[in-house]
Chains A and B, each alone.
Chain A
């Protein structure tokens, strides 16, 4: 009995230490981690409370997958109207709600300037984990909240959140589609192309200068590269055949696949010098070139052994290795930013699933659950996978942690949305 008590105490101690350190790590082959419960009471301002601001922060933290946000209905009036100064905070009350963290903030809006002063406390001992002040033009208040969310996520998990990210995707209906960019929360939707036709596989160069995509505007699938600042076409590949699957190797080098006649070719194109080199040429189909972070390896899809499978080419030695031996349909590879995982799509009984494997093809795991899933892409921090999912009649963009937990549907245009990427 006493032994058991010791155990419990030890666990409590370990937990306290863990919170004091305030780090939550997500395991690579994803043992579940405990979510941290955080209370975000309505933010105070001179003209009364601003619940829409604290609600957005709660929404961001919930979306991240690392937090349980304590519902306001649990808080009584006194707690809801408690002051923001540390001395007026009754941490034991917050603890009794189960909140391990508490975020308090004061909002001020004057002369079209929005400012937010936020504090994050550990309720176990009232430690101030951080205090920050943000300022922005009033219409950009949502961006401020996303930045605060990312900061809280950094404090708790040791890595910055993705709530300030923007998402690039293709959207529209039937033959009326274009490339869009939008904030992760669905706001600030902007059209980047004006082709109003079948538009696929958009990608933006790492410095955000160029947009590449394939469009049928001229009656056949041509590959366009646009300078986003001037909206001018800097390169168009109008060869016969299919040109698709663009991916940037560096600031000005675009890789893409070309299928024509007996052969398929993976090209590397310098969009500024227009110099085009062959990365790989083979009979049959080659598609979807994707690069390891150090560019030493290129993953791609080939049907050289029947159905499509994921292969990897060592760029130094030229050696080609097959990675997927499960099922007979494996496509759409994408390296994680640390190079320790490859996400891809595998056809299973009745579905196309998002999977991950080690870069040598081992340890493959299915992450999605049913439907037609496509185009997995890691977040720059490597903790999330963005993908498109056709469930029923509609294709939408989804986000999940790279262990498959915390699946969320993102809402943007309300139309069919495909092939998402994190905007650099």
Chain B
């Protein structure tokens, strides 16, 4: 048990190192954004179409980099074993088996302060659209609440429900339904 904990600490430390290493790449990016968009906003000196072009190009590059950063963070989360947590039918109570995942996630977030988290709530297809959308919100918020109690700042987290509108498994079996009753953690 102690050994496992040590291993986790090691893994977390490595991840932290990884996070730090990727930080310089992300910080200048945000500076770059503000530098470039600021004159675009206040500078009508540039000709309309040219400005548009420049803006467009930079936004695209921006988006690509942001997507890249998100992908890297997601991969890191995956590597850290930070997977989805699952719920019982028509329930938004966190199951006990989900607690280790949430604790691990809280620890990981504490060491990757640049990462913002989108917590997505999902439901299986055996429910009605509107109620499931509210249920998914409750599931996502239940996970956010737990993470907050573990010390993650609420400002870094956002809950978004997808109800039964975007199932990860399109199947119609017990197994598929169980997979779809989940909260998913996406790095932003």
Contact = CB atoms under 8 A, between A and B. Distances in A.
Interface of A: 174-175, 198, 200-201, 214, 216, 219-221, 240-242, 244-245, 257, 259-261, 264, 284-288, 301, 307-308, 328-329, 331-332, 345, 347, 352, 372, 374-375, 390, 392-393, 418-419
Given A307-B90, A372-B126, A241 B131 contact: no
Given A174-B166, A200-B165, A221-B161, A244 B134 contact: yes
Contacts of A390: 125
Contacts of B161: 221, 242, 259
A257 B137 contact: no
Main secondary structure of the interface of A (DSSP, over half): strand
Contacts of B131: 285, 287-288, 301, 308, 331-332
B77 interface: no
B152 interface: no
Which 3 A-B pairs give the minimum distances between C-beta atoms?
A: A242-B137, A259-B134, A331-B128
Contacts of A200: 129-130, 133, 163, 165
Nearest to A307: B90
Given A287-B130, A372-B125, A242 B136 contact: yes
A186 B19 CA distance: 55
B133 A332 contact: no
Interface in B119-175: 125-131, 133-138, 141, 158-163, 165-166, 170, 172
Interface residues of B, number: 25
Most A CB contacts (10 A, CB to CB) among B135, B137, B170 go to B137
A287 B133 CA distance: 9
B126 A331 contact: no
Interface of B: 90, 125-131, 133-138, 141, 158-163, 165-166, 170, 172
For chain B, what secondary structure do more than half of its interface residues adopt (helix, strand, loop), or is it mixed? mixed
A198 B129 contact: no
Contacts of B172: 392-393
B166 A288 contact: no
20 contacts: A198-B165, A200-B163, A220-B158, A241-B159, A242-B137, A257-B134, A259-B134, A259-B138, A259-B161, A264-B134, A301-B131, A331-B131, A332-B130, A352-B127, A372-B125, A372-B126, A374-B129, A375-B129, A392-B172, A419-B129
A174 B159 CA distance: 20
Given A242-B134, A308-B90, 12 more contacts: A175-B166, A198-B162, A200-B130, A216-B162, A220-B158, A242-B136, A244-B133, A260-B141, A261-B141, A285-B138, A287-B131, A418-B129
Contacts of B135: 285
B48 to A, nearest CB: 24
Nearest to A390: B125
B128 A259 contact: no
A324 to B, nearest CB: 13
B175 to A, nearest CB: 16
A244 B135 CA distance: 12
B130 A244 contact: yes
